[in-house]
Each structure stands twice: as C-alpha cells, then as structure tokens.
Structure 1
Amino acid sequence: MKRTKPYGPREDAVLRTHIELSRAYNKLRAKETATIAEHGITMAQFAILEALYHLGTLRVGQITELILSTPGNITVVIKNLESKGWIRVYPCETDRRIRMVEITEAGSGLIASLFPDHVRNLTAWYGAALETEELNTLSRLLRKLEKAQ
C-alpha cells in the first residue's frame, strides 16, 4: 500500500526505512521465537541463559540492560530459570542489595545444545537475503543509528 500524502523527500525516506526495519525485525523475531519455543523455553529465558553462558556471572541489572527487558519481567524469568535449576541467584559479597546470577551446569548444557542451531537458523535467514559484505554494512549502519540516539 502506497502512502498518498508525501511529507518531504527525507521524511518519506525515514518513514519507509522505519517501516521496512520494523517489518524485517518482527518477521525475524517471530521465526526466532518459534524455533526457541520448540525447545520448551521462552525468548527471555533463552536470552538470559545465552548472556550468562557467553559473559559469565552478571548482576540482575546488567541482565536487564543486556536483553532490553524490564526489571519486573526479568524478576519473573529469573525465578522460573532458578526453579528449573538452570541458574543460581545469590547476593553480591560487597553489596548485599545486589543480586548476582550465574548459570548452572544444567543451564550451560541446555544453552550449549541450543545455541549452534540458533546460529545456523540466523545464518540461514539472514544469508538468504544478504551477502557477508551487506551484513557488515547493515551492522555498521544499525550501530551508527543506535549510537546517534
């Protein structure tokens, strides 16, 4: 559907880019969510396990920032992961108000078994549309957009 009211060359380019970026993200995220759900975990659970697996022990606040979630949602997801034995939560030694989160052996095993498939899926989805040079350009442009905000 073509918009009938123009807003100016730059504005129209911005609107078109924003819509295409949103559509692409939503489509990729839906595919990603569906494939992760096949393993019986949510995207938020996957994101926390992946962060802990690759970065090591983190503060709850760091996890909230890394996976772009809200503190209330993170609290629930962390409790669920802890109840499944995939993470361990404990107070920080230097500041008891801060809670630390580390991945357990069971959590590491789970994410280690899922992550290679995740990488293959992303590579297939992105690779179906973009060459490596285009991926590098897109990544650079998105980072530039992020840093400008």
Structure 2
Amino acid sequence: MLAPLLRELIAAEAPVLAAHGLTMWGYVVLSTLDRGAMRTQAALAEAINADKTRIIPTLDELQQRGYIERFPDPEDRRVRLLAITESGRAVKDAAQAEIQRGEERWLGELSLDERRMFLKALRRMAPDGIERRA
C-alpha cells in the first residue's frame, strides 16, 4: 500500500524540485546540511544513506550554485567540512514550503483524528534523522 503512495508523492515532488533547480539528492543534501554541518563527505553520505562516490557530482553542483560550502577542517586539512549557505537554505526552504503545501492537500483527505494517527504512526516508524514535521 505504501509503494504506490510513495511513487505518487515522489512524482508530485519532482516538478517542484525542478522548478527550484534541485534534484531529489540535492534537496536531501540541503535538508540534511540545514540540520547541521557535516565533518566529511563520507559522514554526509552515511547520514543520507547514499554511496559517497555517487554524491560527489551533487555536491559539486550545489557548491557551484553557491548552495553549500566545502572547506578544509582546520584540525585536519585532509578533511572537507560541508555546510549549507544562506542561498542554499533559501532555495531549500522555498522548495520545502511548496512540497509541504502539496502534502497538506494529501493530508486534507483525512479527518483530524485520522491525520493525527497517521502522522503519529509515521513518526514512530521513521528512522532516526528523518525530518519530522507535523
């Protein structure tokens, strides 16, 4: 039951992200970095459950657009710290707001009690680190 719903939600998000010049991975990276800087690209990849070599092009693109910064760790110059920029936060927030409006249309199909129970169940089942919105 969840797979078709998930496919529809992803399909609904794709044009929103495209309108903001983001890919799904780009949005995931920005959302994760908005919760705090990452010490390494490997740590970011682990946090978003992605292969560290496959996110490099996404990080390159986000950095080129000025949405993230990668800079040497002062304690270990071999390590690259990653952080979201104000520009990255602005584009992420704009895309997120539009996505949330779409989610509200879906949740609007439920009664208030159904909605509370549904969101409570999702929060309980969500892995740690997943953004939890009401």
TM-score, length of structure 2 as denominator length: 0.77
| Aligned-pair Cα RMSD in Å | 2.2
Which residue identity does 2:58 align to in structure 1? V
72, 96, 102: which one aligns with 1:121:
102
Instruction: Please identify, of 100-109 and 121-130, the stretch whose mean Cα deviation from structure 2 is larger.
Output: 121-130
User: Identity over aligned residues, as a percent?
Assistant: 27
Where do 1:1-149 residues align within 5 Å? 20-53=1-34, 55-58=35-38, 59-129=40-110, 130-140=114-124, 142-143=125-126
Matched to 2:41, the amino acid is V
Q: Distance in 2 between matches of 1:74 and 1:138?
A: 27
Deviations 1:11-68 (CA, angstroms, capped at 9, x unpaired): xxxxxxxxx2222222212212232112221111111112222x12113223212322
**C-alpha distance in structure 1 between counterparts of 2:10 and 2:102, whole Å:** 12
Contact 2:69 2:85 (8 Å CA) reproduced: yes
Select the structure that is richer in helix: 1
Q: Which is higher, the Rg of structure 1 or of structure 2? A: 1
Runs of 5+ consecutive residues of structure 2 not aligned to the other structure: 129-134
CA positional deviation for 1:78: 0.4
TM norm structure 1: 0.70
How many residue pairs match? The answer is: 124
